[in-house]
Amino acid sequence: MKIVTFAKHVPSSVVTPRIAHSGDRIDEDGLSHEVNEADLYAIEEALYQRSLHKGSVTAITIGPGRAKEALHIAYAKGVDQAIQVVDEALRGVNPVLNVMAAAKVVKKLEYDMIFAGIQAEDDLQGQFGIGLAEALGIPAVTAVTEIRASPGEKVATVMRELGGGFKEEIEVDLPCLLTIQFGIRRLRYTPVMAIVRSRSRKIEQVTVESLAIPTEGLQGNAPLRVMKLSYPEDGGRCELIRGSAEEAARKLVHKLVEAGVV
């Protein structure tokens, strides 16, 4: 079974992001990046499926030069092939461009299934997988929590968890696209050495430009535009009530009444 997965290189929480002067994006300077966690689950699941059905797993990233690191990690996890779509202009953050670029690349590959993370941590859009399935004309199932594939019969049974513990079982024809829910299986540890070793492995690179994607409608004149980013509002305030136990309790009740809680 041949599986295609994606690894988006997103800012990590180690460094708190700062909003760029333009106000519509975050400043790349000083950021540190990591692989989008949901994508890691998709890759982990793909590797698990490969262990059951043989075949291969390909990982693709779309982003600027640094995004290569996401593929080193994918290699360290155990994927067989890695492709980077080099996007210096939009740095892999434009969902529309990402879908179009991915569709172009995937069309040249053989695949039975495509696993995408349920959403990306940086924009939380959750549209990439669905958009890609649409562009490729294959069925998509979202938020999958369990996969039983029968590549011979070209069909898979997948499970989705609905709210309140309800579950839904879906049968889907292959090839298909599944967006993978967090926690589908435990992420195995990736040793630093494995990442270092995989730095010397081959990454196929194609540039966005070479894919001849129509760029009108992607930047300034796009039908959908980010207008402004803003910092989180200061969270609740914390106040220390001093004094003896009774005194403090009295003050507390007073404050609660004041605040209209009681």
Partner 1 sequence: MDHALVPAREVFRHFPALLVVAFYLISVVAVGVFAYGLWLRIRKYCAGRPANRFDLMWRRILGAAWTIGGQVTLRKRDSYAGWAHALIFWAFAGLFIGTLIIMVDHDFLRPITPALQFWKGTFYLWNSLILDLMGVGLLVGLGMMATRRWRFGLAQLDYSRPDRNPGEYSRLGYVRDDQVFLWGLFVIGATGFLIEGLRICADRPPFEVWSVVGWQLANGIDALGLSPATASRLHLYIWWLHAVLALAFVAYIPYSKAIHMLVDMANLLFRDELAGKRLPGIADGAAAMGYRGLADFTWKELMDLDACTKCGRCHIACPARAGGWPLSPRDLILDLREHAEATLGGRSWLHETRVRQVHGAVAGGLIKGETLWACTTCLACVEACPVGIEHVPLIVQMRRTLIEEGILDRNLQDVLEKLAHYGNSFGEPGHNRAKWTQGLPFKVTDARTEPVDFLWFVGDYASYDPSLQEITRSVARIFRKAGLRFGILYEAERNSGNDVRRVGEEGLYQLLAGHNVAALARAQFKEIVTTDPHSYNTIKFEYPAFGATYSVRHYTEVIRELLETGRLPVRRRLDAVVTYHDPCYLSRYTEVTDAPRAILQALGLTLIEMGRNRSNSFCCGAGGGRIWMTDAGAAERPSVQRIKEALQIPRVTYFVVGCPKDVTMFRDAVKTTGNEGRLQVKDLIELVEEAIGSDGDSCVADVS
What does the block give as tokens for 168?
């839904």
H or E segment at 245? Answer: helix 245-258
> By C-beta, is 5 or 198 nearer to partner 1?
198
Piece of the chain touching partner 1 by CB under 8 A; list 61-69, 84-92, 103-111, 185-193 = 185-193
Q: How far is the CB of 30 from partner 1 (least distance, A)?
A: 12
Q: Is 132 within 8 Å of 177 (Cβ atoms)?
A: yes
Task: Name the segment binding partner 1 (CB under 8 A); options: 116-124, 154-162, 165-173, 194-202.
Answer: 194-202
Q: Does 196 bind partner 1 (CB under 8 A)?
A: yes
> Does 31 participate in binding partner 1 (rule CB under 8 A)?
no
Nearer CB in complex with partner 1: 65/191: 191
> In degrees rounded to 5, what are phi and psi of residue 6?
-125, 150
240 near partner 1 (CB under 8 A): no
Q: Does residue 19 belong to the site contacting partner 1 (CB under 8 A)?
A: no
Residue with tokens 């079982």: 169
238 binds partner 1 (CB under 8 A): no
From 90-98, 157-165, 191-199, 218-226, give the range in contact with partner 1 by CB under 8 A: 191-199
What distance in Å separates the CA atoms of residue 244 and residue 261, rounded to the nearest whole number?
Answer: 23
Beta strand 2-6 pairing with 56-63 = parallel
Q: How many chain residues touch partner 1 (CB under 8 A)? A: 14
Tokens of 209: 């430009």
Q: How far is the CB of 159 from partner 1 (least distance, A)?
A: 23
188 lines the binding site for partner 1 (CB under 8 A) = yes
Cα 57 from Cα 66, distance rounded (Å)? 22
List all residues 6 or more positions away from 226 whose beta carbon is below 8 Å from its beta carbon. 24, 25
